Structure 1
Amino acid sequence: MPLAPEREETIPERDFRDKAILFVDDEQETLDALRRNLLREPYRKLFALSASQGLEIIDRETVHVVVSDIQMPEMDGFAFLREVRKLRPDIVRMVLSGTGNLDQVVELINTGEIYRYVTKPVHNVKELRSTLNQAVELHQIKNQRWELMRELEQRNRALRQWQAKIQRELALAGAMQRKILTLDPFLHDHLEVSAAYEPHISVGGDFFDVIDLPGKRVCLFLGDVAGHGVAPAMISVLLKVLVEETVRSLFDRGPAAICNAIHQRFQQYVQNPESYATMFLAIYDPEIRVWECMNCGHPQPVLFGVPEGITLDKGGFPVGMSVAPWEICDAGDEMRVPAGPGLRMLLYTDGLSEARPAETEQEAGGCPGTDLASQAVLGPGVPGLNPARTVLDHVKAQGCDISQDDCSVLYVRMLDPASVLWTGAIDQDKLAVERLAKDIQERLSARGWPEQGAWAVRIVIHEYGLNIIDHARMSPDVPMSLCIHLEDDACRILYRDTGMEWDYAARRAILEHRALDSGRGRGLELVAGVTRNILFFRRGGLNHALFVVARGEDSEASGGLDADE
């Protein structure tokens, strides 16, 4: 069907030279009229006399807009445009046809199948040109949008990959930091220190440790670098190293001199007035049984079992604080705490004391679990092998959210010398181990222990001692260490040796009460069966093995644990 004569009007020229419009119509006259009337248009014009011919052109050419007649043999325009959408959804689709299919065309426009409908014959060529230009512009807009979406998706994918990489690196850094922080307990003849730590993110700005010093002295410290993230975490590692080095060289000069030296060295390494850290440091002297303490702007520790009037309410400035360029404290700021058998000392960072109720809690103000001094669970009867972990779990159980800041806890427990049943070194001699195990059993029986509990202690001492001799690969002239403490309802047996580090699979099997082959240590399955708690770790180049054996009751005694076994 021929187009109506062209009206002479000028259309603004656009730069569509890289665009192509495909016209599909089974009437050659219609295609010829389109070719003449659109001769001056900048885009390429492609023409097809059938739907199949149009699909061939689309397959080999880059087409941006398709204009199709409806009434065509073999494949009508509707089927053709649906196929175009399936093959090339980016192509803008239009209909140029008579009014016979108007209802169906309107429905396709409303559902987004086609962009526009132009009736034949075309009486206004200017309008046709304008409509085609708009279709080309629409393709450009859609293509730009798709490009932007692809670019956005690529950037999002790169961002997700970067975030995943950062998370992996933070997790690795956090694992390394936790290894450096030494979360294993410190077990001493006179005291025990347990630690717990939960960073705000994978890495944190808290630092702490317990240091074994000459003369059986002990130093412990807990600090908190200002801020969150990687930078405070790196500074915390630096400070931990500085504290350990300074303490080992200056421990006999007192806490004030140590803290001032740490402050001066820190300022040499970190010349940033916004970088500083609070810290509490204490040194235990077993000769006078006193803790000598210094508080550098840190939260005041909680004390249990001390004489009335003993407090830790003095102190100096934080380490690195620019207001104190040379010294942050003096000897007058030092505090002394008598280290009697009942002493319990709780050190913590402000992430614990400043915790707020969790979102599910409607209570305003402070969190009930952070009133640490009033919590009975923190007293002498703290259960478990890790009282510090018990403290953190207790605070969370009170409805407190401690995830907003790094949280660290050190729990110090002074041991009663009267509770030490035996301590000393044992030669790598199986008969000596056997004699000692029997002697300890007899001592427990003399103290009124039930037969089953006394036999369990003997089994642990004997079997684990032989295990060290057979499998630790120690030099024959190097002794192992054993310390036995009695508590109200249990006996704590601590072996220490300088042998090879524990085989991981064997240690895990022991803790999970799984059977072991003989090559991984004789008798350990039996040891696991008679103990209430077992803890293996390596600290300071020593393997530590802590066994807790329940006292038990006479009525429960038996179980086949007799002398014949």
Structure 2
Amino acid sequence: MSSSSTGLTENVIAQNAFKPDLGGTVLVVDDELPNRLYLKKLLSSYGCEVLQAPDGSTALEILHAQRPDLVLADVVMPDMDGFELCGAIKNLPATRDIPVIMVTAKGHIDDLKRGFDLGAMDYIRKPFDARELVLRVGNALALKRSQEALARWKRRMSHELELAGTIQQSMFSDVPCFASPFEIRIKYRASMDVGGDAYDVIALPDGRCCVYLADVSGHGVAPAMISAMLKATATELVRSFYERGPAYICNELHVRLCAALNNPSYYATLFMALYEPEEDRWVCMNCGHPDPILVVDGQPLPFPKGGGGIPVGMPLGPTRPYEEADQTILECSAGLQILLYTDGLSEAMHCETGEECGDGALQRFFIRVASDPSVIEKPDALLDLIEKENYAIGNDDCTAIVIRMTDPAHILQEEYIPIDLNAVSESCEEMERLVLEHVDEDVAARVRLVAMEHAMNVVEHSGLDAGSTMWSQLLINEHSCQLIFSDAGREWDHTAANAMEFDGDEYAEGGRGLTITNIAADSVERYRRDSQNVVSYLFRRQAD
């Protein structure tokens, strides 16, 4: 064997040894049969499955039926040229992700630009080198596989984030809190499936209550996980150390977050308020958070300034940066409404001007919502109003908590009713008598009917013993009458109870009372909170 033939043999062996297996399905579109056959033979030798189409119309039929991984399209073809075919592929949702390589003898920059503008990913000029064509096809197929893998990863991450958001949301209840001196309502909107805001309303012994709202720095999974940790830690600390006050609790929270995070990029602004019923006041601690907005009788009130300042978890300054002197005392008054919020509301950008909402505009919006007694879900209404005023609040997590102090003059009756039918009957008669002093007979009769049905249901089905009680509160203002019940009996199926009016047999045992209360009251809210069944019935007053 000659040296030249030996070299040729070694060349062939080397080419075959490094011949890549491209894989994938390639659709070759060319009106010239010899071109199609050559490309089929060439690409098949590299592991591709090759489909053929003599024109654009046939190519579109094949694309819909088999979805190849790549299209090699000749530019110059009768009827539908390569540019038109490329445009058609990219205009259809089902095929727009399939890459297109244009094969052309045209080399003018305008032709290249036209193809790229239509969505082509690459060009191969005729006459082409087989090795160049194989390399470009291989790159296109590899990119397609990478994009598909990325799309699968995104779908998986989206599903996992959605699941994480559902789990996180279950940790942050937006169920209202009804207590003798106040009502608290919450609205939370995350900018992603998971969010970085944290909050809780914690019922404490002797009529005390703690409310806190935190905003973890950043967006995404890490702040969401930190918010969950913060909530669990803060709530545990509140239950353990509420008698020591907010400053002590915030110091302990700060120490624990610094130890757990040890990262200056992650911290949380926090506002915490502890209600003291004996003094009828909130003792507050502000750790770098926006001050609450206060409204009474449609007029704003300034929030008392205090210390604090540094966010919890920020590893700067002293180990325990908060002093008791930093606490702020907020004295309550009848009808006082308090808005706690995260900066997603105040920093919402106007869709036209690009200006931030700011605390001033937010205060005006809250005054409008707080001054409308017909609005029950004030946090929801506030967020809706901000959006109605053309501010975009979807770029950051948004939480609004509204504390509405009850006007004692609006409380007609408040008592703990024994789990006894006679006691229930007497209490409901007294409710009707009190309501009749303010409203017409129709509303009074509906109040008594609902009270009787609800209280009897608790007596008969709650599982509470005869020594137990249920709490009730009857309130009235110029627009409505509200009746609230709370009991520690076995948990109701509140979803089924709310749907009973539409799906249940209204005369069936156990369903009749629910149906009556759903119909007799103008609105009904049923919740499970702090191991209590809580139901609020609202009756609209007739216009005088």
Structure 1 segment 86-165 matched on structure 2, within 5 A: 138-165=129-156
Secondary structure at the aligned position of 1:371 is classed as helix
TM-aligned CA deviation for residue 482 of structure 1 = 1.7
Relative distance call for 1:213 and 1:472 in structure 2 (3 A) is: same
258, 263, 266: which is aligned to 2:254? 263
Partner of residue 478, structure 1? 468
Relative distance call for 1:190 and 1:154 in structure 2 (3 A) is: same
Task: Give, in whole Å, the separation in 1 of the partners of 2:194 and 2:151.
Answer: 20
Structure 1 segment 15-414 matched on structure 2, within 5 A: 63-64=41-42, 138-305=129-296, 311-316=303-308, 317-358=310-351, 361=352, 363-367=353-357, 371-375=361-365, 376-414=367-405
Relative distance call for 1:504 and 1:65 in structure 2 (3 A) is: closer
**Aligned AA (2:484):** L
Secondary structure at the aligned position of 1:405 is classed as coil
**Aligned AA (2:440):** P
TM-aligned CA deviation for residue 194 of structure 1 = 0.6
Secondary structure at the aligned position of 1:413 is classed as strand
Task: Give, in whole Å, the separation in 2 of the partners of 1:319 and 1:350.
Answer: 16
Relative distance call for 1:333 and 1:308 in structure 2 (3 A) is: farther
Contact in 2 for aligned 1:372/1:378 (Cα 8 Å): no
Comparing 349-358 and 415-424, the one that deviates more: 415-424
Partner of residue 30, structure 1? none
Task: Give, in whole Å, the separation in 1 of the partners of 2:526 and 2:370.
Answer: 25
Contact in 1 for aligned 2:374/2:479 (Cα 8 Å): no
Relative distance call for 1:139 and 1:265 in structure 2 (3 A) is: same
Task: Give, in whole Å, the separation in 2 of the partners of 1:181 and 1:432.
Answer: 37
Task: Give, in whole Å, the separation in 2 of the partners of 1:547 and 1:490.
Answer: 10
Partner of residue 539, structure 1? 529
Contact in 2 for aligned 1:319/1:328 (Cα 8 Å): no
TM-aligned CA deviation for residue 182 of structure 1 = 1.3
Per-residue Cα deviation, 1:506-561 (whole angstroms, up to 9, x for no partner): 2341476875462553222221112121111111111111110122258xxxxxxx
**Structure 1 segments unaligned to the other structure (5+ residues):** 1-11, 21-53, 67-79, 94-105, 117-133, 555-565
Q: Does 2:474 correspond to 1:496?
A: no
**Structure 2 segments unaligned to the other structure (5+ residues):** 1-7, 17-32, 45-51, 63-67, 83-101, 106-124
Partner of residue 442, structure 2? 452
**Aligned AA (1:259):** C
TM-aligned CA deviation for residue 180 of structure 1 = 1.2
Task: Give, in whole Å, the separation in 2 of the partners of 1:282 and 1:441.
Answer: 37
Contact in 2 for aligned 1:199/1:407 (Cα 8 Å): yes
Task: Give, in whole Å, the separation in 2 of the partners of 1:261 and 1:148.
Answer: 57
**Aligned AA (1:254):** G
Partner of residue 457, structure 2? 467
**Aligned AA (2:41):** V
Secondary structure at the aligned position of 1:518 is classed as coil
**Aligned AA (1:232):** P
Task: Give, in whole Å, the separation in 2 of the partners of 1:192 and 1:166.
Answer: 39
Comparing 201-210 and 251-260, the one that deviates more: 251-260
Secondary structure at the aligned position of 2:404 is classed as strand
Per-residue Cα deviation, 1:51-85 (whole angstroms, up to 9, x for no partner): xxx99xx9xxx83399xxxxxxxxxxxxx9969x9
Task: Give, in whole Å, the separation in 2 of the partners of 1:115 and 1:354.
Answer: 53
511, 535, 542: which is aligned to 1:521? 511
Partner of residue 417, structure 2? 426
Relative distance call for 1:396 and 1:310 in structure 2 (3 A) is: closer
Aligned length: 459
TM-aligned CA deviation for residue 234 of structure 1 = 0.8
Partner of residue 9, structure 1? none
Task: Give, in whole Å, the separation in 1 of the partners of 2:359 and 2:208.
Answer: 33
Task: Give, in whole Å, the separation in 1 of the partners of 2:281 and 2:141.
Answer: 69
Task: Give, in whole Å, the separation in 2 of the partners of 1:314 and 1:232.
Answer: 27
Q: Does 2:500 correspond to 1:507?
A: no
TM-aligned CA deviation for residue 411 of structure 1 = 0.5
Structure 1 segment 544-559 matched on structure 2, within 5 A: 544-552=534-542
**Aligned AA (2:490):** M
Contact in 2 for aligned 1:171/1:202 (Cα 8 Å): yes
Task: Give, in whole Å, the separation in 2 of the partners of 1:173 and 1:256.
Answer: 32
Contact in 1 for aligned 2:294/2:338 (Cα 8 Å): yes
RMSD: 3.9
Task: Give, in whole Å, the separation in 2 of the partners of 1:300 and 1:183.
Answer: 21
TM-aligned CA deviation for residue 269 of structure 1 = 1.7
**Aligned AA (1:302):** I
Relative distance call for 1:136 and 1:550 in structure 2 (3 A) is: same
Secondary structure at the aligned position of 1:412 is classed as strand
TM-aligned CA deviation for residue 382 of structure 1 = 4.9
Contact in 2 for aligned 1:346/1:411 (Cα 8 Å): yes
Higher gyration radius (CA): 1
Partner of residue 26, structure 2? none
Secondary structure at the aligned position of 1:404 is classed as coil
Q: Does 2:434 correspond to 1:443?
A: yes
Per-residue Cα deviation, 1:363-393 (whole angstroms, up to 9, x for no partner): 2533379622233314343543321111111
Contact in 2 for aligned 1:501/1:538 (Cα 8 Å): yes
**Aligned AA (1:161):** R
Task: Give, in whole Å, the separation in 2 of the partners of 1:524 and 1:272.
Answer: 53
Comparing 522-531 and 378-387, the one that deviates more: 378-387
Secondary structure at the aligned position of 2:512 is classed as coil
TM-aligned CA deviation for residue 490 of structure 1 = 1.4
Task: Give, in whole Å, the separation in 2 of the partners of 1:426 and 1:455.
Answer: 20
Task: Give, in whole Å, the separation in 2 of the partners of 1:313 and 1:187.
Answer: 28
Contact in 2 for aligned 1:256/1:330 (Cα 8 Å): yes
Relative distance call for 1:256 and 1:136 in structure 2 (3 A) is: same
Comparing 232-241 and 368-377, the one that deviates more: 368-377
TM-aligned CA deviation for residue 221 of structure 1 = 0.7
Contact in 2 for aligned 1:537/1:544 (Cα 8 Å): yes
TM-score of the two chains, using structure 1 as the length reference:
0.72
Contact in 2 for aligned 1:511/1:534 (Cα 8 Å): no
Question: Percent sequence identity over matched residues?
Answer: 31
